Every structure is written in structure tokens, then in C-alpha cells.
Amino acid sequence: MTSDLVFLLPLVTVTIGAILLMLLSAFEKIRIEVSSALAMGIFAVAFLIQLVPVGPDDVRPFVSLFNGILLVSDFTRIASLIIIACGFFTAMSSISYFRQNSFATLEFFSLMTFAVSGMILLTMAQELITVFIALETVSLSIYVLVGCNRRSVLSTEAILKYLILGAFAGAFFTMGAALVYAGVGSTGFAAITDAIAMGGLLQNPALAGGLLFILFALFFKVTVFPFHAWVVDVYDGAPIPVTGFMATALKTSIFAVLANVLLLADDIRGTWVDMLFYLTVFTLFAGNLIAIGQNSLKRMLAASGIVHTGYLLIALIAVSGDSFSGSVILYYLAAYAASTLGIFASLSYLSGNDEKRRDFDDFKGLAKVRPYSAAVIAIFLLSMAGIPPTAGFMGKLYIIVTAFQAGQTALAVLGIVSSILSMWYYLRLIIAMYFHESEDAFEVSSSRSAPYCAFILAACVLAMGLYPVAI
Amino acid sequence: MLSQWLFYGFATLAVVGALGLILSRHPMNGAMCFVITLISQAGLYALLSASLLFALQLIVYAGAIMSLILFIIMFLNIQPADLPQETGRWGFLIGGSLAVVPIGLLLLKIVRSLPAGETTIIGNGFGHVKSVGLVLFRDWLLPFEIVSILLLVALVGAIVLAGKKETIQ
């Protein structure tokens, strides 16, 4: 009984830390540096606790008390490691950002920590109502983080769009959960697996329809093709650290849920494999088309996030359900998170007062003035484009090899084509940085936390490229 | 038989209220239509013998939350001149409803597949405070507890978004 607590300790640490930060934000004397350092400390402790190898593989902590609603496995452990690390680096780089943008509140760090605690819960939940509550906790905190710059019209537009469309997706999720309950008589994942094993998915229309609605709601959150329209404006309007946090931590947690739901039974993927195939192809190419047309860096990164969702979908279609370890998905998520967080940390440092440098043209000649920053950004861009020896290359390689092994040759080839297309907009920034004369003095933030963060992440990107994963 | 008619009555009223909420131009009319939906939902809960839920629906949703919404609308003092010009509103409505037709057909198919049930009064204190509380704390302890974190986040978020605009250096 008491030893079960060990499995939940990272979640408990982050939640208590969030409440502590919330209480501290009531004091006027505390500076945001203190709050940020505290948040970083909480994430570091949670990360170290999560790293400690404990016990057997799949554990349901407090199984009689919680009715087996939570499941801790290697998959959830690594997913929450990525999420906690995203929280750590966001808290670290936001200090540089808030030196140049004066709308910092202490609640910022509290809400971010709450979001992380919801995300960890999301990876572990094995029951639809718990998933919904955790999802709403995460969404609510991120809505507020997106809109926390109240003087910016763009930010207000972003929060309004995200809030209304997010509420719509939440309604879809609830309707799906209700239909699943109507079909199965329970909302637990185990009961759903049993029901599918008994008669197949399509023998139970309420269950099939409910799962379809739930998938749509999750697809909305990770910006799969027909549900991607909100992402560019929302990422553009959100403060830079929040955009980085959304693009990485949120995507990791939702993909963990998607993997949990899609891999409940082979029948689920088997039934909808055609639909998933077309959604993946459209996601890859719609994302690329949108990204090619953008002039603003944040909008380009938002659109490229859609493309990366497409790669992750390829992995979800291709991984075998029997021996699912999720290593390919988690490796790609970690590689993508490191590069994306790194770019956003660099932007937090370089974008100037009130994010005045936004476009590709604003970064012309960066390499002449700030060679180290330009080099680090180039590493992240090369990793996202999938060029060796970076982690992004290895991630894409694993996904494409998995797709070939699973017989999804068309998807693998389309993945390679989309990867070549994506070079266009990643190399465009490198060309702007290296092959133009600088017109700008590139004055930077007075805090050096974001560049340190970016250098650590660049080292991670290169080191992870050397770390092999069993496919 | 009576329960069947009651069900159809409440269900129709709920849908009519929801339609009124979308279609009425002034927010106050929309809010009043929403009250109809909430009250007919309470009726549906009563048909299912969920007595606690029935009471909560009336007290919390139709009572407390609706009066807050009405209070805010009155507070804003919206005049017809303040409302935006909605040109092409019917076009959007018709286009939007055509877009959701496939979802509606899917839902119809799903509902048809569900087994028919007769609404009867279930005894044994079903739906009373005690039985709901027991289910909540025995089977649903974790979701019940994490809702408190959700509410905390909503509280902090409301303060961040709506509080006084002052920044910390």
C-alpha cells in the first residue's frame, strides 16, 4: 500500500509544487526569478524521482482504492520524463523572455506546473472520465497561459479561438465517452478491450461511434489535418515560452493518450486504418503547404508542428500492438521536444522587446553578430529537418523503418517526400542567418538563462542522435 | 406509457431551448432559452430516478449559474445598438447544419442500435444522496479528487485573466 505511493511520487511532487507556487504568488515581495527557480527545482526533483527504476513493469497503484484507474508502465514513465523536462526548460527560458516582455505574473509558473501535473495524469489514466478531467486541467491552464499577455490583441484573439474550439473538442470527447458508456456499460479501458474482444468493434455501434468521437477530440488537440486550422493563429498569439511548451509537452501527453486508446485492441486500428492513412497523408502535406507560405517564424514553427504530428501518426499506425513499447514514438517525441524547445528558447533570448523580431527577414545576418546563437539555432533546425547526426534524423529514420516493416510502404515513402519538402522552410532561416549581411545589432535579453537552456538542449539533440533504440 | 410521453416532451423542449439559444439575437433571449433547456434536462434526470441530480440541476445550473449569467448580461447593459451586424448569418447556419448532417446520421444509427428500455421508478434509494455519495467515494475516488485541481486551475486562471493589470518587475 505505502509502496504504491512511490509510483505516483512524481505526480504528487509536481502537484504539491504547483499548489505551493500558487500560494507564493499571493506575496508581492517575491520576484519572478524566485518563482521560476522554484518551478525548475520542482521539475528537477520530479524528474530525478521518475528516473529511479522502481519495481516491475506495469503497476496499477492503489488498485483497490482507485479501482485500477491509473496504470504506471515504462511508456508512461518515459512520457512523463519528457513532459517534466519540457516544463523545466520552459521555466528556465521564460526568465530571459520576461526581461524583455513586461507582463510576467507569478501565477504563470503555478499554472504551468498545474498543466504538467495534469499531463502526467493524462499519460497514466486508464479511464475516460479521468482522462477528460486531466485533459480539461491541462487545457484550462494552457488557455490562461496563451492569453496571459492581456495588452496584446493577437494574444486575446489566440485565447478566444483556442478556448471556443477547445470547448468544442471537449464536448466531442464527453459525447464520445457517453456513447462508449452506452455501448459497454463502463468507461474503463479494460472493459472496452473486453467488449471488443467479445464481438469485434463494429458489432457495437455505440462503442465504435464513441471511440471515433474521442479520437476526433484528441486529433483536434494534436492538430491532425481537418482539425488543424486553429494552430497557426494560437501559436502565433501565445507568448514564445508558452508556444514552445504547448508544442512539446501538450503534444507528448496527448500522443500518450492516443497511443493508449488506439492500442487498446488491434481491431480499433484495423477498422480505421484507411481513415488514419488519409488523415496522416493530408496532415503531412497540409502542414508543409502552410509552413512554406509563412513569413513569421512562430507561424512557420506552428505549421511545421502539424507535419511532425503527421510523422507521429505514421508511427502510431505502424507500431505493432502486441509488443508495444512505444519506443519509436517516445524517441521521436523526445527528439522533437528538444529541438522545438531549443528554438523557442533561442527566440525567447533573441526576439527583443515585445517580440519585435518575428519574421525570417528580421534574423538576417544573425551569424555575423551572434555566431553561437546562430549555430545553436542551425543545429535545432537541422534536427527538425531530419539531417544526420542529429536526434531528429534518427527519429525519422526509426519511424520510416517501422513503417516499412509494418508493410506501410506508401506512408514511408510519403514521409520521406514530406521530409524533403520541409527542408524548404527550415533551410530558409539558415540561409537568412548565414548568407546575408546584418542590418540589426541584435540586442538581447539581459538574462542568460535562455541561452544556457538552448546550449543544453543542443547538446541533448546531438547526444540523443548517438543513442540507439530497439525498434 | 406516460413516462414515454414525458420523455418526448422534455427532449423536444430541451432541443427547442438549445435552438433558441443559438438563434436569438439578444443575449438575454438566448439566456432565457437556455433556462428552458436546463429545466427540461432536470425533467429527464427525474424520469431516470436520479433524484439528487434532478435537485442539483435545478439548484446549481438553472438556479445559481443561470442567475450569474443573467446578472452579467444585465451588468453589461447590452442595447440592440451594441450587437454586431451579423451579415450572412443564415448562410453560416445552413452551411454549418449541412456539415454536421453526417454526424447526425451516425448518431441516429448508434441510438437505434441501443436496446430499448422502459423508464420505471427504481427503489432502494437509487439516486439519493447516500447512494450517489457511496458510488462517488468507492468507485470514483480519483476523478472526484482531481476535479479539485481542475477547479483550482480555473480559479487561478480567472484571477490571472481578469484581475487588476499590474506587473512585477
Note whether A129 contacts B143, CB cutoff 8 Å. yes
Of all residues in chain B, the one with the smallest CA distance to A127 is B143
Say yes or no to pLDDT of A321 above 60. Answer: no
The whole-number pLDDT of residue B126 equals: 82
The whole-number average pLDDT for the span A121-144 is: 94
A225-239, A260-274, A287-301, A403-417: range with lowest mean pLDDT: A260-274
- Taking an 8 Å cut-off on Cβ atoms, the answer to whether B157 and A144 are in contact is yes
The answer to whether residue B161 neighbours chain A at the CB level (below 8 Å) is: yes
Residues B11 and B69: their CA atoms lie apart, in Å, by 23
Of A278, A280, A271, A266, the C-alpha closest to A320 is A266
B146 touches chain A (CB under 8 A): yes
Q: How confident is the model at residue A320 (pLDDT cuts 50, 70, 90)?
A: low
Residue A170 CB coordination number (10 Å): 18
Of residues B83 and B11, more confidently modeled:
B11
Q: Nearest residue of A to residue B153 by CA position? A: A141
Between A440 and A128, name the one with better pLDDT.
Answer: A128
Grid cell digits, residue B78 = 447590452
Q: Looking at the partner chain, which of B110, B146, B157 has a beta carbon nearest the beta carbon of A205? A: B110
Q: Does B2 touch chain A (CB under 8 A)?
A: no
Report the distance separating Cα A358 and Cα A236, nearest Å: 10
Contact B153 A65 (CB under 8 A): no
Q: Where are the alpha helices (DSSP H) in A227-296?
A: 231-237, 240-245, 251-262, 266-292
What is the pLDDT of chain A when averaged over all its residues? 89
Cβ–Cβ below 8 Å for A102 and B167: yes
Q: How many domains does chain A have?
A: 1
In a domain, A471, yes or no: no
Residue A418, domain member (yes or no):
yes
Q: Is B9 on the interface with A (CB under 8 A)?
A: no
Can you give the residue range of the structural domain that contains A30? Answer: 4-464
pLDDT band at A436 (very low <50, low <70, confident <90, very high): confident
* Residue A111: pLDDT over 90: yes
**Record: contact A209-B107, CB cut-off 8 A:** yes
CA distance A468 to A464: 8
Residue of A nearest to B111 (CA): A206
pLDDT band at residue A1 under the 50/70/90 scheme:
low
CB distance B157–A69 less than 8 Å?
no
A109 vs A8: CA distance, rounded Å: 22
Bridge partners, residue A188, by sequence: A127
Q: Which amino acid is present at A298?
A: K
List the single residue in A28, A151, A182 with the smallest CB-CB distance to B114: A182
Check CB contact under 8 Å for A206 and B153.
Answer: no
- Is the pLDDT at B163 greater than 90? The verdict is no
Is A469 within the bounds of a domain? no
Q: Please judge whether B142 and A70 are an interchain contact, meaning their C-beta atoms are less than 8 angstroms apart.
A: yes
- A470 lies in some domain: no
Closest Cβ–Cβ partner in A22, A66, A209 for B156 = A22
A179·B109 Cβ contact <8 A: no
Q: Which residues, in sequence order, are bridge partners of residue A125?
A: A70
Any idea which residue has 465504435 for its cell? A208
Q: Cβ contact (<8 Å) for B142 and A69?
A: yes
A119 contacts on B by Cβ (under 8 Å): none
Interface contact B101, partner A, CB < 8 A: no
Mean pLDDT of B23-33: 89
Closest Cα in chain B, distance from residue A401 (Å): 36
> A6-10, A90-94, A124-128, B78-82: which range is least confident on average?
B78-82
Helices (H) and strands (E) in chain B, counts: 7, 0
| Count of C-beta atoms within a 10 Å radius of residue A172 | 21
B121 touches chain A (CB under 8 A): no
The verdict on residue A331 lying in a domain is yes
The percent of residues in chain A predicted with pLDDT above 70, rounded, is 97
Q: Determine contact: B135 vs chain A, CB below 8 A.
A: no
pLDDT exceeds 80 at position B121: no
Check CB contact under 8 Å for B160 and A111: yes
**Helical residues (DSSP H) of A52-152, grouped into ranges:** 63-66, 74-100, 107-124, 128-146
pLDDT in tens, A357-411: 888 888 888 888 889 999 999 999 999 998 888 999 999 998 998 888 888 899 9
A41 lies in some domain: yes
Q: One-letter amino acid identity for B61? A: Y
pLDDT at B35: 94
Whether B167 has a pLDDT exceeding 70, the answer reads no
In a mutational test of the A interface, the residue from B110, B134, B165 whose CB has the highest number of chain A CBs within 10 Å is B110
Q: Is ipTM > 0.85 here?
A: yes
DSSP 8-state symbol, B116: P
Report how far residue B7's alpha carbon sits from residue B2's, in angstroms, rounded to the nearest whole number: 9
- The per-residue pLDDT for range A52-97, each reduced to its tens digit, is 877 667 888 888 888 889 989 888 999 999 999 999 999 999 999 9
* pLDDT over 90 percentage in chain A: 58
Q: Cis ω on the peptide bond leading into residue A389 (within 30° of 0)? A: yes
Mutate to test the interface with B, among A66, A128, A138 (most CBs of B within 10 A): A66
Q: Which residue has the cell 517575491?
A: A30
Q: Are residues A114 and B156, on separate chains, in Cβ contact within 8 Å?
A: yes
Asked if B142 lies within 8 A of A130 by C-beta distance, the reply is yes
Per-residue model confidence (pLDDT) at position B169: 43
Provide Rg for chain B, Cα atoms.
Answer: 21
* C-beta atoms of B157 and A137 within 8 A: no
- In B, which residues are within 8 Å of A159 by CB distance? 161
Mean pLDDT over B74-83 rounds to 83
List of chain A residues whose C-beta atoms are within 8 Å of the C-beta of residue B134: none
User: Distance from A64 to chain B by nearest Cα, in Å?
Assistant: 9
| Residues in A touching B150 (Cβ below 8 Å) | 133, 136-137, 140
Structural contact between residues A148 and A103, judged by C-beta atoms closer than 8 angstroms: yes
Distance of alpha carbon A368 from alpha carbon B112, whole angstroms: 69
How much is the mean pLDDT over chain B? 87
Give CA A326 to chain center in angstroms.
15
Which pLDDT band holds residue A239 (cuts at 50, 70, 90)?
A: very high
Bridge partner residues of A127 (DSSP): A188
Chain A residue at shortest CA distance from B138:
A65
Model pLDDT, residue A426: 92
Q: What is the pLDDT of residue A213?
A: 93
